[in-house]
């Protein structure tokens, strides 16, 4: 069976409120292995680059401001069917629509400050993981 990788980051609202440990625990309990992990911060330029796919959306300037507003915890995760299983674990973008027990249902405050990111494809998972971590930091 194929084991593969996804990329996540705990977003500024959830880090600031002290949910890093609780969220990491849920991730490990769901069967994901942590390949790389760091606490860091994005500049507005780097946040804009990370979410460049949304450049034309009305919410983009606010999203960039929010993502650069505080510390984040990026991680690379490994599990069979990692991308799809992780999207299921975090729940819908808007926490009002997130299923019970999902990370966003538990910790997100709004559609913008929604606690956590999850890659949407294997290809983006690789690009996003390499955005934060050198190959030598991936264990
Ligand atoms: P992510 O890419 O962070 O995992 P997602 O894939 O569930 O989230 P996207 O459509 O990629 O959702 O949106 C990226 C991020 O932009 C969302 O997680 C959220 O923080 C913000 N966002 C999305 N839609 C809106 C909106 N309508 N209003 C405000 N912020 C939004
Ligand atoms: Mg997305």
In a domain, 45, yes or no: yes
Once rounded to an integer, what is the mean pLDDT over residues 110-117? 98
In a domain, 67, yes or no: yes
Residue bearing the CA closest to ligand 1, atom 18: 93
In a domain, 51, yes or no: yes
Q: Which atom of ligand 1 is nearest to the CA of 8?
A: 4
CB 32 within 8 A of CB 79: yes
CA dist 115 → 19, 28, 72, 77 (Å): 9, 17, 10, 17
Active-site amino acid positions: 117
- For residue 12, the domain's CATH number is 3.30.70.141
Q: 104 in ligand 1 pocket by Cβ < 6 Å?
A: no
Specify the DSSP class assigned to residue 136. Answer: G
In a domain, 138, yes or no: no
Helices 122-132, 82-90: axis angle to 10 degrees equals: 80
DSSP, collapsed to helix, strand or coil, labels residue 70 as coil
State the greatest distance between any 2 C-alpha atoms of the chain, in Å, as a whole number. 41
Residue 77 tokens, joined: 């995760």
In a domain, 37, yes or no: yes
Q: 30 in ligand 1 pocket by Cβ < 6 Å?
A: no
Share of the chain above pLDDT 90, in %: 98
What is the distance in A from the centroid of ligand 2 to the CA of 118?
A: 7
- Tens digit of each residue's pLDDT (9 = 90 or more) over 37-69: 999 999 999 999 999 999 999 999 999 999 999
Domains of the chain: total = 1
Higher-confidence residue of 2 and 24: namely 24
Segments forming the whole domain that contains residue 12: 5-132
- Tens digit of each residue's pLDDT (9 = 90 or more) over 4-45: 999 999 999 999 999 999 999 999 999 999 999 999 999 999
In a domain, 79, yes or no: yes
- In the chain, DSSP finds a helix count (H) and a strand count (E) of 7, 4
Of how many residues is the chain composed?
Answer: 139
In a domain, 139, yes or no: no
Q: Which residues contact 17 (CB under 8 A, 6 or more apart)?
A: 107
What is the model's pTM? 0.97
* Strands of 33-37's sheet in order across: 33-37, 73-80, 3-10, 116-118
Residue 1 pLDDT grade (very low, low, confident, very high; cuts 50, 70, 90): very low
What is the distance in A from the centroid of ligand 2 to the CA of 114?
A: 11
- Tens digit of each residue's pLDDT (9 = 90 or more) over 83-110: 999 999 999 999 999 999 999 999 999 9
pLDDT at 69: 98
In a domain, 137, yes or no: no
């Amino acid at each position: 069976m194929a084991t593969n990788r996804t990329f996540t980051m705990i977003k500024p609202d959830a880090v600031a409120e002290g949910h890093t440990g609780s969220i990491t625990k849920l991730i490990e309990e769901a069967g994901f292995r942590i390949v790389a992990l760091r606490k860091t911060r994005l500049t507005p330029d780097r946040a804009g680059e990370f979410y460049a796919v949304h450049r034309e959306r009305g919410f983009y300037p606010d999203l960039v401001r929010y993502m650069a507003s505080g510390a984040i915890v990026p991680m690379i995760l490994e599990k069979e069917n990692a991308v799809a299983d992780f999207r299921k674990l975090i729940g819908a973008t808007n926490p009002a629509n997130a299923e019970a027990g999902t990370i966003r249902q538990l910790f997100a405050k709004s559609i913008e400050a929604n606690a956590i990111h999850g890659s949407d494809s294997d290809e983006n998972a690789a690009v996003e993981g390499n955005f934060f971590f050198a190959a030598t930091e991936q264990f």
